[in-house]
Amino acid sequence: MPDIGSVWSELGGDPALLARVSAVVRPGALPARLPVRELARACVGACALAAAELGAHRAGRVGVPRVTVDDGAVATAFTGERHLLVDGRAPQTFAPLSRFWRTADGWVRTHANYPHHRARLLHALDVPEDPAAVGSALRDRPALEVEEAVYGAGGLAVALRTPAEWAAHGQAAALATRPLVERVRLDTSRARALPPLGGTPLLPAAGVRVLDLTRVLAGPVATRTLALLGADVLRLDAPHLPELPDQHADTGFGKRSATLDLAAGRDRFEELLAAADVVVTGYRPGALDRFGLSPEALAERRPGLVVAQVSAWGAYGPWGGRRGFDSLVQVATGIAAVEGSAERPGALPAQALDHGTGYLLAAAVLRALTEQAYGDATGRGRLVRLALARTAAWLQDGSRLPEDGAAADGAEVGTAPYDGPARWLAETDSPVGRLRYARPAVSFADGPHDWARPPGPWGGDAARW
């Protein structure tokens, strides 16, 4: 059941600190059959509490600052990519070939936002770039056959499954044996000491250096949150894989962005790694291992490092090496069937698996930093790992919580109407244009209210600290 108490326990947090959290419950925010609003509140609340806890330690405070989770702010942040305006223009969130398609025996959903994924989809189907041609090619083929054919070509297509069909799948069985938040110790070396903090706003991650090797939503949401909290976040991308400009504008707040060929620029990467405190990766499991970027290899070269990984399906099981996105995980795990109708599959009111997992990943990093510096066994490198499909299982585990806000685990709760996102939107000038964007959902007493810098052009910064 999505509630902050269960998340906080998974993160290894002190249950007594849950009393520091209060919620403003707004019925009507993120409406869905599944408890999306409760999941979103729990993920953001746990992240804010982890930030407040680390900030209190570093500032030498006796008590942890109070955390407030407002459903309105959370709902706006979880749908932030839909509210983004760049010079008054609304970006396209899904490309024309990223959608549901009828097949001979059901439905598939494709993902073709990136040019290389689109090209592989068209190659697998042997059709031109035309929605009508794609639809015609899919109508006479079984959904599972399409799934395997497109995956075999390096593309992305997933057959619609019911919750029962997913439960019988080998990947669901592998996920069922894993916790929501995996936490592993990598070595016994002491981490770099974090200096004390003073003044306001309280920035719990100030001075923490984060190498951001992520793409699309969950990983960038996590690193954007760490940047909000004061971390020096440097995103690295391969020069030949540019990020979609609007997606970069949405998730690039607070960060710097550089390009680096991990093969040709190995010496530069090693210099960056040697001074890093955290490495966050969001590529499919194993994709970075050939560059010596497995968690174990990173920790061997940089003892005391925190490595945070996020993937679609998990780093294990028959789908452990597959690519995936939030929309596809919803289709495979039965969420699209639950949220749809007899006529057509549905979707959650937000990319909640991406956003929720992103906040959980940031929370896990913050808790790892706290444990390293202030826990019973200080130091030691750590690996934290999450998967969108595991978050999906958590979302589906049980029925909706009561509308009276009982999800706040006994903390103070208020209820207020939800009248839309307007009060949680802001505007700023940036090097990529005038932006309207969702303000941060993570909030605690004396904490930051916005990012210190807007996004700049993709790859516009030097690959250095």
pLDDT digit string, tens, across residues 377-389: 667 899 999 999 9
User: What pLDDT was estimated at residue 287?
Assistant: 85
- Give the model confidence (pLDDT) of 421-433 as tens digits: 999 999 999 999 9
Q: CA angle, 337 as apex, 335 and 343 as ends, to 5°? A: 150
Residues 72 and 75: their CA atoms lie apart, in Å, by 5
Average pLDDT score, the chain: 93
With 80 as the cut, is the pLDDT of residue 401 above it? no
More confident residue, 401 or 232: 232
Q: Is the dihedral of CA 67, 61, 453, 249 positive or negative?
A: negative
In the prediction, which pLDDT does 9 show? 96
* Backbone angle region of 154, left / alpha / beta, with phi > 0 → left and psi within -120 to 50 → alpha: left
Q: Whole-angstrom Cα distance, residue 297 to residue 28?
A: 47
Within its chain, how far is the Cα of 207 from the centroid?
22
What pLDDT digit, counting tens, does each position of 22-53 carry?
999 999 999 999 999 999 999 999 999 999 99
CA distance 48 to 43: 9
* Closest listed residue to residue 222, CA positions, set 186, 255, 271: 255
H-helix or E-strand spanning residue 332: helix 326-332
pLDDT at 399 over 50: no
For residue 312, what pLDDT is reported?
Answer: 97
* Side chain identity, residue 80: G
Q: Does residue 112 sit in helix, strand or coil?
A: coil
Beta bridge pairs of residue 86: 89, 435
The two beta strands, 100-102 and 425-428, are unpaired
Q: Which of 218-227, 286-295, 386-395 has the lowest mean pLDDT?
A: 286-295
Residue 132 confidence (pLDDT): 95
- Which residues lie below 8 Å from residue 335, measured CB to CB, with a gap of 6+? 34, 329, 347, 348, 392, 395, 396
Nearest to 107 by CA among 326, 334, 392, 314: 334
Q: pLDDT tens digits, residue range 222-266?
A: 999 999 999 999 999 999 988 889 999 999 999 999 999 998 999
Residues 58-82: what's their mean pLDDT?
97
Nearest CA to 327 out of 345, 344, 342 is that of 345
Asked whether 65 and 49 are in contact (CB, 8 A), the reply is no
- In the chain, % of residues over pLDDT 90: 86
Q: What is the pLDDT of residue 377?
A: 61
Reported as a pLDDT band with limits 50, 70 and 90, residue 411 is: low
Say whether pLDDT at 336 is over 50: yes
pLDDT tens profile 317-326: 999 989 999 9
pLDDT for position 145: 97
Which residues sit opposite 74 in a β-bridge? none
* pLDDT tops 50 at residue 403: no
Bridge partners of 102, per DSSP, are 107
Residue 407 pLDDT more than 50? no
- Judged by DSSP in three states, 80 sits in helix
Give dist(CA 18, CA 369) in Å, integer.
19
User: How far, in Å, CA of 318 to CA of 313, rounded?
Assistant: 9
Q: Which residue carries 């003892």 as its tokens? A: 303
Torsion of CA 419, 421, 426, 430, to 10 degrees: -160
User: What six digits make up the tokens of 386?
Assistant: 């999450």
What pLDDT is attached to residue 192?
84
pLDDT score of 376 more than 70: no
pLDDT of residue 404: 42
